[in-house]
Homo-oligomer: A and B are copies of this chain.
Amino acid sequence: MTEVCMNFSAPVAALTRKIGLALGETPVDLLLKNARLVNVLSGDIHDADIAVSDGIIIGFGEYEARRVIDCQGRHVCPGLIDGHIHIESTLLTPWEFARAAAPRGTCAVVWDPHEIANVLGRQGIEHMLDLTRDCPLSFYIMASSCVPATSMETSGAELTAEDVEQLVLTNLDRVLGLAELMNYPGVLAKDPSVLAKIAACSCSVVDGHAPLVSGKALNAYILAGPSSDHECTDAGEALEKLRKGMHLFMREGSDEKNLKDLISVCNNFNSQNISMVCDDRDPVDLTTSGHMDHNVRMAVSLGMDPVRAIQMASINTARHFRMKGRGAVAPGYRADMVILDDLEGFTVWKSILNGRDVADISFGPSGKIRSENTVKLSVSGGKLSASNFEIVKVKDEVRCIGVVTGQIVTKSMVVTPRFESGRAYGDPTKDLAKLAVVERHGKNGNIALGFIHGLGLARGALAGTVAHDSHNLIVAGVNDSDMALAGNVLAEAGGGYCVVADGKVLALVDLPFAGLMSLKPYEEVVVSCRKLIEGFQSVAINRDIYTHPFMAMSFSSLAVIPELRLTDKGLVDVGSFCQVDLWV
């Protein structure tokens, strides 16, 4: 055997083993008998006995197996893949997310860890890669493209083109490319630092993020590299993006619900270019409505054929990201399968991950967790006081962020706040609250003040250290001293969400991991979150209106989505991508 031939000996031995297994020469690990396979490749549903060994599908047919699961005619489909998620939004560690999502059929996610990255930088992403390395639910990573999202805010860390390149090159199997390129104004302005990140991922996938961008600007954005978009809010926008070659991610998340408005764009000739994603999912929704199972169920309830809906949550996504051997049930694919009690309702009987029954899997971190306090306020005495939130009257009207229910976009409004003794305050009679963003990475002590409409707050204050994307401390309130207390409570907890009123803490979810994620089991996090919502309801104008007030607050600082946002440096008009004054 020549030296070069020797190089092939290991892969040849692996192929030899596979061929022997497929030919039935030795028993396989597992056989799913009497399945009705929802085949996302041939686009039909057919009877199959499915053989599994070494974590992969060996083939269809009668095989001798060490373990047999009789599906008794149940439908079997591939494990579901979420093509765009920020795991941090679940407030859970990845392994707790996996423990919650795997029994619902999720087998893989494509995670843009830009919340972690904004707080802890490249080291934070690498730590996440380490901690999820052996998880049977696969965590693919997209290197965050916009950390910080804009120069009009203070983040805990920056990611450069070199960081992106290193992340991709040193994790070829798991880092699939560049995450949502939110800085579309930077692309259109030919900002070399933005373009360098695209260049660093020229051999992998660049995900887009271009809300309402169209015409020549969209041509230019696409030509620069991004090949997907998950920000469409109506079918016309989605159709233009599909026509121009973008893979369409129809998003249905906890606070961004687009599926119903976009589904009409699917036809019999384009659905391979469409996937479903959730983007953000809060822990209560995740554990009650579900994850991708929810999105499949919803698409089917809106009239989509179940085969197509499942394609959009499996093979279409796997192909967009060029995942090898993922997204289908066929020889050579990883054995990720969902056995269903009910196809239309997507009721899971049993999940199989990497050839193993999910019921038999323990989910946990793949290494030692490094967690330290990341909430560092640079205010005098280290504590906030009511005076930090004082707004002196300058004119009669202010610019105000208008929450749009069920959407991530906001409206830019002009309102008259309540004035008292030459100071401006929120006004519950107008559903108007004061909003503050306090730099919390120990860098400059910035505090920016503004107003938010539509949060539904009657009294007290809410606060969070989850505040997209720089994750400074964000506080909304109708009472300056409650705002100070809310901020101080979170600083002490190392991050989280809280509700305070009349000088008392009504509810607290502590998120000590980067100020973003809990270290507790998901069941406990869900209980805390329910208490948080109850706490909010006790201070709300109308306890029935708002499902996700904290997510709405967290997104009100995201300066890359129209129309108006507040960062620690002040108000940002996203349309003109400029800072604007509070007073009109």
Selected contact of A199 from candidates B12, B56, B333, CB within 8 Å: B12
Tell me which residues from 48 to 64 in chain A have a Cβ below 8 Å from any Cβ of chain B: 51, 56, 58-61
Q: How far is the CA of A20 from the CA of B224 in the complex (A)?
A: 10
Q: Is A239 an interface residue (CB 8 A)?
A: yes
Contact A224 B15 (CB under 8 A): yes
> CB-nearest residue of chain B relative to A202?
B11
Whether the pair A332, B5 counts as a contact (CB closer than 8 A) is: no
A165 (CB) vs chain B CBs: closest residue: B4
Q: Which residue of B lies closest to A316 (CB)?
A: B272
Contact of A245 among B161, B196, B331 (CB under 8 A): B331
Cβ of B245 and Cβ of A307 under 8 Å apart? no
Is there a chain B Cβ closer than 8 Å to A281's Cβ? no
A5 & B162 in contact (Cβ 8 Å cutoff) = yes
Q: Is A328 an interface residue, CB under 8 A from the partner? A: yes
Q: Within 8 Å CB of A58, what residues of B? A: 219, 223
The chain B residue sitting closest to A190, CB to CB, is B16
Q: Is the CB of A222 within 8 A of B331?
A: yes
Contact status A267-B43, CB under 8 Å:
yes
Copies in the complex: 2
A584 on the interface (CB 8 Å rule)?
no
A42: interface (CB < 8 Å): yes
Interface set, chain A 271-301, CB cutoff 8 A to B: 271-273
Chain B residues with Cβ under 8 A from A44's Cβ? 239, 243, 267, 269-270
Does A24 touch B at the CB level, under 8 Å? yes
Q: Known interface pairs A15-B195, A195-B12, A196-B5. Does A243 touch B46 (Cβ–Cβ under 8 Å)?
A: yes
* Complex contact A61–B11 (CB within 8 A): no
A216 within 8 A of B: yes
Say how far A25's CB is from chain B's closest CB, in angstroms: 10
A242 an interface residue at 8 Å Cβ cutoff? yes
A220 and B11 contact, Cβ closer than 8 Å, known pairs A41-B242, A270-B43: no
Nearest-Cβ distance from residue A188 to partner chain B, whole angstroms: 7
- Give A12-68 interface residues, CB cut-off 8 Å to B: 12, 15-16, 18-24, 37, 39-44, 46, 51, 56, 58-61
Residue of B nearest to A241 (CB): B42
Interface membership of A311, Cβ < 8 A:
yes
Nearest chain B CB to A47 CB, angstrom units: 11
Asked whether A148 is an interface residue with its Cβ less than 8 Å from the other chain, the reply is no
Contact of A220 among B23, B162, B218 (CB under 8 A): B23
Cα–Cα, bound, A42→B198 (Å): 25
State whether the Cβ of A517 lies closer than 8 Å to any Cβ in chain B: no
Contact call A331/B19, Cβ cutoff below 8 A: no
Cβ of A430 to closest chain B Cβ, rounded Å: 41
Tell whether A170 is near chain B: CB-to-CB under 8 Å. no
User: A223, B18: Cβ atoms under 8 Å?
Assistant: yes
Interface residues of A in 165-217 (CB under 8 A from B): 165, 187-188, 190, 192, 195-196, 198-200, 202, 215-217
Q: Does A244 sit at the interface, judged by CB under 8 A? A: yes
List residues of A (310-333) whose CB comes within 8 Å of B's CBs. Answer: 311, 319, 322, 328, 330-333
Q: Indicate whether A225 reaches chain B with its CB closer than 8 angstroms.
A: yes
Docked complex Cα distance between A192 and B4 (Å): 13
Contact at A8–B196, with CB atoms within 8 Å? yes
- Give which listed residue, B4, B12, B24, B223, contacts A59 with CB less than 8 A: B223
Once bound together, how far apart are the Cα atoms of A23 and B24, in whole Å?
59
In the assembled complex, 7 residue pairs joining A and B whose CB atoms fall closer than 8 Å, in A order, are A2-B162, A5-B196, A15-B199, A15-B224, A23-B216, A41-B270, A322-B322
Closest 5 CB pairs of A and B: A43-B269, A59-B219, A245-B330, A43-B270, A22-B220
Interface residues of A (CB under 8 A from B): 2, 4-5, 8, 11-12, 15-16, 18-24, 37, 39-44, 46, 51, 56, 58-61, 161-162, 165, 187-188, 190, 192, 195-196, 198-200, 202, 215-220, 222-225, 239, 242-245, 267-273, 305, 307-308, 311, 319, 322, 328, 330-333
